[in-house]
Structures are given as C-alpha cells and as structure tokens.
Amino acid sequence: MLTLLALALSLAPRPTLVVVNQSGSTVSVIDLTEGKTLVTLPTGHFPHEVAVSADGRWAVVTDYGDRTPGSTLTVVDLKSLTVAKTIDLAPRMRPHSGFFLKDNHTLAVTSETSGAILLVDIATGKVTGEAPTAQKVSHMMALNADGRHAYTANIGEGSVSQIDLTGKEPTKFLPVSIKTEGLGLNSTGTQTWLGSNETGKVYVVDLPGWKLIDSMQTGGMPYRIGFNPGGTVAVVTNPTSDEIRFFDPSTRQPLGVLSVKGDPSTQPEGLTMSPDGKTAWVTLNGSNEVVEIDLASRAIRRRFPVGAGPDGIAYVER
C-alpha cells in the first residue's frame, strides 16, 4: 500500500515556480511542495519574462537584453530540468511578454522593435506568424481564454492594443494614459487594467465597449497587474514604493496594502497566481527572493531565495 501511495505521489503534478533572474541571466525552478530550488539554468542576456505550457512540460524565457537588444528565447524542459534549446528571432529584437497557445508548442510573444506579436513554434524554432500591435514599445501582453485575442500595453504611446491572432480582424488600439507598461486581463475577459509609469494610476478599459471607464491611484509605479482565477482579487506590484496593493475587481475599491519595505529597496515586480485563486507569488528584485502571499489575509507565508534581480515569474504544475 505504501509503495502504491509513494508511486501515486511521485506521478502527481508538482506545483512549481519558474523565476527569471534578470541581473543574473538565469532562470530558477522552485518545487513548492519541498520549498526548495531544484535547478538554476543559464539564459540569454538580461531576461525579463517567462511563459509556461499548460501541460507542464515547457518554460520559455524571453532574453530581452540590456543596452544591447536581445533576440533570443531560452526553452527549458521542465521534465529533465535542462535548457532544451535557444531560439534566435533576429532580426526581430526585444522579445518580452509571452503566452503559450492551447497546442502547448506555439508561443505568442511581443517583439518591441518589430511592433508585433510573433507566433513561434518552439519545436521547430520557426516564426510561423506575425501580428502587428499598431503601436510602439508593446511590452506586456495578456491573452484571452480562447487564445484568439491578445492585448498589449504600449509604453511608447500610452495605449492598449487588441490583436486578433487569427488575422481575421484588424488590430485596434485605444489611447489610455502615459507610458502604460503593466497590464492584466480580468477573469471574465471583459476588462483590461493598465498601469501608467508616469501617473502611478491603474486604468480600467471596458473591452466590449472599447472605452476607458475608471482609474485608481497607487502609491508608486504599478509595474505588474494580475487577477486571481476566482475573480475576487486584483494584485498590483509597485517597485518604487515597495508595496503590493490589492483591489476588488468588481468594485475597483482597495482591499489593502502589503508593505515589503527593506533596506535596500525590495522592489516587488513579477507576479503569478495559484489556480485555486488563494495564493500569489511576487518577485522582489532588490532582495533576490520570492514571497508567497495568502490572498485572504494578504500576509506573507513563505520566502524563497533566488538568483540576482528576479523579475518574471510563472506558476506551473509539472
């Protein structure tokens, strides 16, 4: 009986975090059950974000680059915990925010210099499609549930774009504010929230009506925005104020603020949520760690040390 139980546990999906260490040019894989880092692997220079496949097999890191623009994707095999390959997108540069499509091998990823979302087959390493965002410096991206429409926050023109990845509808964009970088899509796919690096506000866009309907002031730069799957909490990270803010997605009223102030600054940046909607994980770029947050109490449960300058983060069951 114990042998069968041990076998079942060994075959069960393992809750895992994949964390991009921007300054270290590495990616760390953390087993949440054991609470430890399984491996830290090299990536391209100055990576920013990571996307994971729903089947728990792949993670793809976007090698954004620093002063010299990056053009590569680092593909991590989450089964063998190794770097499977590096895909070069040149001349398309500055890959940043990505999501897997439902086939688990096509990655949709922004290319800032191309002003487009690229569709990349990670099996062949080939770009199979390219959809324009019609705006400049398209940075963060969100993908709706059916994988057809993507939304980008465009820093260069302070706007949001809607892109039909099937190519059946033209791209449209909406001016929102100034230097819109952070972006999140609510659980029903009816709103996208964007953070302005200039005003410190989070702006709410109604997608069916394609119009700006509200804004909320934060205490710093609303760097990343996420919604838990149950649709009860929106989380906003603020690296300039060392705060993590929580909002009610329905009323857009504040639920609380978690201060993670440290000396030096902790700089909360990347954000991911658990499938049950009860937990969030946030990277602290300044203190080289990840904090696990209970969304009901808005309190830190655990801390995990990672590499230098953690930024992008994703939850996956592998």
Please tell me the predicted confidence (pLDDT) of residue 12: 83
Give the integer Cα–Cα distance in Å for 305 and 47.
Answer: 18
| Average pLDDT value for the chain | 96
Statement: residue 144 has pLDDT above 80: yes
pLDDT in tens, 99-115: 999 999 999 999 999 99
- Three-state SS letters, 51-93: EECCCCCEEEEEEEECCCEEEEEEEEECCCCEEEEEEECCCCC
Q: Answer for the pair 268, 242: CB distance below 8 angstroms, yes or no.
A: yes
List all residues 6 or more positions away from 1 whose beta carbon is below 8 Å from its beta carbon: none
Q: Where are the domains of the chain?
A: 15-317
What distance in Å separates the CA atoms of residue 266 and residue 246, rounded to the nearest whole number? 18
Share of the chain above pLDDT 70, in %: 97
Give me the pLDDT at residue 219, please: 84
Residue linked to tokens 């040390």: 305
d(CA 150, CA 111): 14
| Topology (CATH level 3) of domain 15-317 | Methylamine Dehydrogenase; Chain H (2.130.10)
pTM beyond 0.85: the answer is yes
